[in-house]
Structures are given as C-alpha cells and as structure tokens.
Amino acid sequence: MLGNIKQLLGKKSKKLKMPIFLLVIDSVFYGIFIGVMYFVLLDLIQDTFSVEKIKEYTWIMIISFIIRTIISSIGYSGIQIQGARAIESMRIKMGDHLRNLPLGYFNKNSIGEISNIMTNDLQDFEKVITHNTSELIKISIISIYLLIITFFIDFSLGLIQLIIVLGSLPLMFYGGKRASKIGKGKKKIIAVVISRMVEYLNGIKVFKSHNMVGEKFERLEKSFKDFRKESIRTEVAIVPYVLAFQTLIDLSFPLMLIISTTKFINGNINNIYYFTFVILNLALTYILRGFSAQYGEFRYLKLASEKLIKTYNEKEISYEYENHQFKNYDIEFENVCFSYEEDDPILKDVSFKAKEGTMTALIGPSGSGKTTITSLIARFWDIQSGKIKIGDMDISKLKPDNILQNVSMVFQEVYLLNDTIYNNIKIGNQKATKEKIVEAAKIANCHDFIESLENGYDTIVGEGGSTLSGGEKQRISIARAILKDAPIILLDEATASLDADNELEIRKSIDKLIKNKTVIVIAHRLNTIKDSDQIIVLNEGKIEEIGDHNILMENKARYYNMYTEMEKAKLWTI
Ligand SMILES: Nc1ncnc2c1ncn2[C@@H]1O[C@H](COP(=O)(O)OP(=O)(O)OP(=O)(O)O)[C@@H](O)[C@H]1O
C-alpha cells in the first residue's frame, strides 16, 4: 500500500512522512501511561507510596498528556491537510491524464466507471491516507511495543502471547481478503448506479416525450436496490471474521491471566512482574480488538488505490512535438486504415488531399465513416496504418493540444457549459476582449438574440445549454469558432432539424467562418456543397469517388445518381 501511495502521490507523499512520524511518536507516549501505572503498582506492593510520589506521578501524567495532545493534534491536522493537498493535486493530475488518453479508453469504460474513479475512488484513497494507514501503523507499533515488553517480563509468557496473536491474524487477513473480494462487486454496482443516473438525467426530456420516465426510473431504482444489497453484503461479509478475531483476542486475556497467576503462585515470577504483565495484557487486548475492523476497511479502501493506479498506468497518447508550427494547413490522408474495435475496419485505405484554403465535402450513407475522418484529423483516435498529415507533418508525432489549437469544430451536437453565454463564447479564445467576443457574436448572427435576453451576455445557459434552442446553441458555437479563428474548420452541416429561418442564419454565419480556411464539411444535402473544391463520396469506409461537382457529374456514378434524384425531388415539390 505504501508503494501505491508513493506511486500515486509522487513527491507529495514525502510531505506525509512528518505527520505520520508524529502519530508514531504519539503512540510511544502511550507507553508513558503504562510506565506510570507500573510504578504506582510497584509502590503499592512495596508499601513505598507517598504524597510526594503521587504528585510526581500526577505531574508526569499531566505533562505527557499535554505533549501527547500537542503532538497528536499537529500529527492529525498535518495528515488531514497534507492528505487533502496531495489528493487535490492528484485530482488535477488524474484529470489531465484522462484528457491525454486516447478516446478508446472512454469507449471501453462507461461514464459511471470513470466518474466513480474520479469521485468515490479518490475519496476512498484520501480516507486511506488521512485515516486508515496512520491508524494501522499506530496500532501495529503499540502492539509490537507491548509484546516486546512482555518478553522482557517473562519469555514464556511473551511467547504464548505472541503465538495467540499470530494464531488470530489469519482470521483477520482472511476477513480482509473477503472485504476486498466482495468490495470489488460493490464498486462495480456503484459505477452502474452512476451510469444509470447520468443516463436518466441526460435523457429525461426524451423519456418524458416517450412516456418512459417510469420505466427508466425502474431501471435506476433497481440499481439503487442492487447497491443497497451489495453494501449490506460487503458489511456483513467481514463481520464473522472480525467477531471471531475479537473473541479469540478477548479470550486470550483470561487464559493469560490463569497462566500468569499459576506462575506467580508457583513463585516463577515475582509480584511486580505479575501485575505489570496483567496490565500490559489488558492494554494489548484492548488495542488489538480494533485492529481487525480497521484492517477490513483498509482492504476495501485499498481497492480504490489499485483502480487509480490502473487508470494512471493507462498509456497516454504519445507525441514528439508539443509546439510545432505548421508550414501550411494542407490536410492529407495517405492510405489510412482505421478501426475503433479490433477486426472491424471502419476506414479502408483512404487517401485524399485537402489543400489549404479549400473546402472538401464528405458525403455518403450513414455509417460510411464521415465523422470518423473528422475525428482522425483532430487526432481523437490514432490510426492503425497509413499517415495523416497537416502541412506535411505526420500528426501522430504531435501533441493533440498542438493540433486542436489550429482546428475549430462546429458540430450539430453542441455542448455548452452551465455558465454565461459570454464565457461560453470566450472558450474559443480565453484572451479575447469583450469587444472581440461581441464582434464574434455579431458575425455569427447571434448578438441580437443574446441582447434580447433579460441578462444578455450574462445569461446562464443551463447544463449543456438546455435553456436555448438548437439553432441558438449552434450559433453560439459558431461564434466560439469565429473567435478562435483557427486555420482548419471541421464542420458538420446543419440538418433539416432546424427551421428555415434558423438555417439561413446559420448558413450565413458559417459562410463567414469558413472564409479562407481549410474546411472539411460533412454534408447532408448536396445543394449546399455543390461549389466545394472537392467532394469525397464515401461508402463502407472506402472512397468511391473524388472530384468537384462537374467531374463527379461526368462520372455518372453514385454522386450523379444522388444529385439527379435530388433535382427530381425538387421538381416534385414545385
Ligand atoms: N466511438 C465509436 N466506437 C465504435 N464504433 C464507432 C464509434 N463511432 C462510430 N463508430 C462506428 O463507425 C462507423 C462509422 O461511423 P461514422 O460516425 O464515422 O459514420 P458517418 O458516416 O458519420 O455516419 P452518420 O452520417 O450517420 O453520422 C459506424 O459503423 C459506427 O457505428
């Protein structure tokens, strides 16, 4: 466990050493209390008790209590403060690490699982550091310390005592093992509960519209019930072992009392040693009782650190250059093959070049790989073979942030933060002045609607932008992109889900956004991309046709058919 703490906290783990050391010292002071009791007994037996001595003992006790209180309060508050600081920096480190993981990690792990790691597991780990580990270290030190003194009093009594303690330990270890095994199940259920909760809250609008709120709530309720069952199972699983361990330890006291009394009656140990042994044994029994419950909890909490280490060891996206300056913004795919899952190729030997300042439209049936191509340009995923280049530089050598600084993405699914409209636009460029933000909003045709809101740019948009219409959200995201002014634009063209007015507004603002940029647009309607410099027709992950409108019309293949169908449909509407 100490290894886990070191690996996860890095240098910060060093700061925990001092408070833990103070807590150890605190446990040593416990010995002073036992020592005083020993001398009190000694005086009683030897009839050397006096008022002077009582005063002396009382002062020793008072001073040791004061020192103990000071040391333990510094130690405990130190471990809480340092622990909280270490966890805070670990949270940031983990967040950063997650950001740098390939998207494949998020495909394999549910939102519930990842949220669980970032909340509950980190919290459990904090508990291990601030509470559990120090407590276990303290109990272990006091127990070893008392056992050693017992050996000095009488070797055979010490040996019997040690055998009893060692004989009881397997019960405790087995209980801990059970807590760890069943705890894994509990952790899985927690992840399911979080996933269902996210699903329920995210989908509440859809569930309501389909009258499925009750049905979906049943799913959530079931996960709550499973969670309750698993929590009880985890708690109950360890109880028999804790009780058996405690009973054995409790029984050791009368047993040791009989053995030591017999030794005393037979004259094998003197009265002073006898009384001291009885006191030590009583103290040891009391301390060891708490050991098993602490250990069970420790094993459960330790699961969190194992999961954190596993997440932490997930390989981040590798790169050679962090701050590459592109010589131009041509985008080139060279024989690119890509699959999200093994043995399920999505893009098959895709090659094309989108020259700087031109517009390339991707068309093709649903699932043909259009969105995948845009995700690969942003290096959300790494390809299995071939090369993707921006300005002649292989993007697999670049830090994703370096690429994303030069790319703006405008997709239909716009996610806005639960913040003001102003801050949502500002995401495009954190250094932008208010004038620049308003200017971007004007170009994106959203300034007027923002101004018409009661709080204007200070309006809070609700989580995901829930208080705005689809078109409004999209225009804000375009304002964001305009503010960013990136040389590459990845665009998912608006679908028919927007009304005609909204669509026209969006169309106009997009035209301003894409001027002089390298644009890759996922097209849903052919009339909007007719003037593109290049049109790529995709089918089942392969490029079926490539060229401008005129060339593709001359080809008289899929594009020609789609286009003539569209033209015919237009005539029908007229
Ligand atoms: N994250 C993912 N994990 C696994 N498979 C995925 C993932 N995203 C997409 N796919 C699969 O890859 C294929 C191509 O998907 P993609 O979204 O690129 O198609 P598309 O042409 O953009 O479709 P549409 O027009 O419907 O948006 C589909 O079969 C899809 O199921």
CA distances from 275 to 43, 57, 140, 220, 260 (A): 12, 18, 24, 61, 9
Other Cβ atoms closer than 10 A to 385 = 10
Model pLDDT, residue 515: 84
Nearest CA to ligand 1 atom 7: 340
Q: Which ligand 1 atom sits nearest the alpha carbon of residue 372?
A: 18
Domain boundaries, the chain: 2-190+241-313, 321-406+487-574, 414-485
The b-or-e profile of 260-276 (16+ CB within 10 A means b, else e) is beebbeeeebeeebbbb
Nearest CA to ligand 1 atom 10: 340
What distance in angstroms lies between residue 545's CA and the mean position of ligand 1's atoms?
20
Query: pLDDT per position in the chain (574 positions), as tens?
Result: 667 777 777 777 778 888 888 887 887 777 777 778 778 877 877 788 788 888 888 898 888 889 888 988 898 888 888 888 888 888 888 888 888 888 778 877 777 788 888 888 888 888 888 878 778 888 888 888 888 988 888 899 999 999 998 998 898 888 888 888 888 888 888 888 888 888 777 777 666 766 666 666 777 788 888 888 888 888 788 888 888 988 988 899 999 999 999 999 998 888 888 888 888 888 888 888 878 778 888 888 888 888 888 888 888 888 999 999 999 999 999 999 999 888 889 999 999 999 999 999 999 998 999 999 999 999 988 999 999 999 999 999 999 889 999 999 888 777 788 889 999 999 888 889 999 999 999 988 889 889 998 889 999 887 666 677 778 888 888 899 999 989 999 988 765 455 666 667 777 778 888 888 999 999 887 877 888 999 999 999 999 999 999 999 998 988 999 888 887 776 665 4
3-state secondary structure 465-501: CCCCCHHHHHHHHHHHHHHHCCCEEEEECCCCCCCHH
Q: State the pTM of this model.
A: 0.70
Residue 456 Cβ < 6 Å to ligand 1: no
User: Of 307, 310, 314, which is closest to residue 103 (Cα–Cα)?
Assistant: 314
Other Cβ atoms closer than 10 A to 233 = 14
Residue 211 Cβ < 6 Å to ligand 1: no
CATH superfamily of 414-485: P-loop containing nucleotide triphosphate hydrolases (3.40.50.300)
- Pairing assessment for the beta strands 331-339 and 407-410 based on DSSP bridges: unpaired
CA distances from 300 to 77, 180, 239, 278 (A): 24, 5, 14, 35
Distance CA 436, CA 434 (A): 5
What distance in angstroms lies between residue 375's CA and the mean position of ligand 1's atoms?
10
What distance in angstroms lies between residue 381's CA and the mean position of ligand 1's atoms?
13
Residue 365 Cβ < 6 Å to ligand 1: no
What distance in angstroms lies between residue 369's CA and the mean position of ligand 1's atoms?
6
The b-or-e profile of 118-145 (16+ CB within 10 A means b, else e) is bebbbebbbbbbbbbbbbbbbbebbbeb
Distance CA 544, CA 472 (A): 36
Q: Which ligand 1 atom sits nearest the alpha carbon of residue 103?
A: 1
Model pLDDT, residue 350: 96
The secondary structure element, H or E, covering residue 289 is helix 271-313
CATH superfamily of 2-190+241-313: ABC transporter type 1, transmembrane domain (1.20.1560.10)
Q: Which of 368, 413, 524 to mutate to test the pocket of ligand 1 (most atoms within 8 A of CB)?
A: 368
Residue 539 Cβ < 6 Å to ligand 1: no
- Alpha carbon 316 to chain centroid distance? 15
Model pLDDT, residue 339: 93
Model pLDDT, residue 554: 92
Nearest CA to ligand 1 atom 27: 366
The secondary structure element, H or E, covering residue 522 is strand 518-522
Q: Does domain 321-406+487-574 have CATH number 3.20.20.80?
A: no
User: Is-contact 346 128, C-beta < 8 A?
Assistant: no
Q: Which ligand 1 atom sits nearest the alpha carbon of residue 541?
A: 14
Dihedral sign, Cα of residue 370, residue 375, residue 381, residue 382? positive
Structure tokens that stand for 32 in this block: 């002073």
What SS3 class is residue 233? Answer: helix
Model pLDDT, residue 574: 46
Q: Residue 331 is which amino acid?
A: I
Residue 495 Cβ < 6 Å to ligand 1: no
The secondary structure element, H or E, covering residue 348 is strand 345-354
Let me know how many helices (H) and strands (E) the chain has, helices first: 20, 10
Nearest CA to ligand 1 atom 26: 366
CA distances from 129 to 8, 13, 313, 395 (A): 11, 10, 20, 41
Classify residue 10 as left (phi > 0), alpha (psi -120 to 50) or beta: left
ipTM above 0.95, yes or no: yes
Q: Which ligand 1 atom sits nearest the alpha carbon of residue 375?
A: 18
Residue 324 Cβ < 6 Å to ligand 1: no
**First-to-last C-alpha distance (Å) of the chain:** 75
Which phi and psi (to 5°) does residue 521 adopt? Answer: -115, 130
The secondary structure element, H or E, covering residue 61 is helix 51-99
Distance CA 478, CA 449 (A): 14
Residue 372 Cβ < 6 Å to ligand 1: yes
The secondary structure element, H or E, covering residue 539 is strand 534-539
Structure tokens that stand for 350 in this block: 């895709």
Model pLDDT, residue 210: 65
Structure tokens that stand for 454 in this block: 């009661």
Same topology for domains 2-190+241-313 and 414-485, yes or no?
no
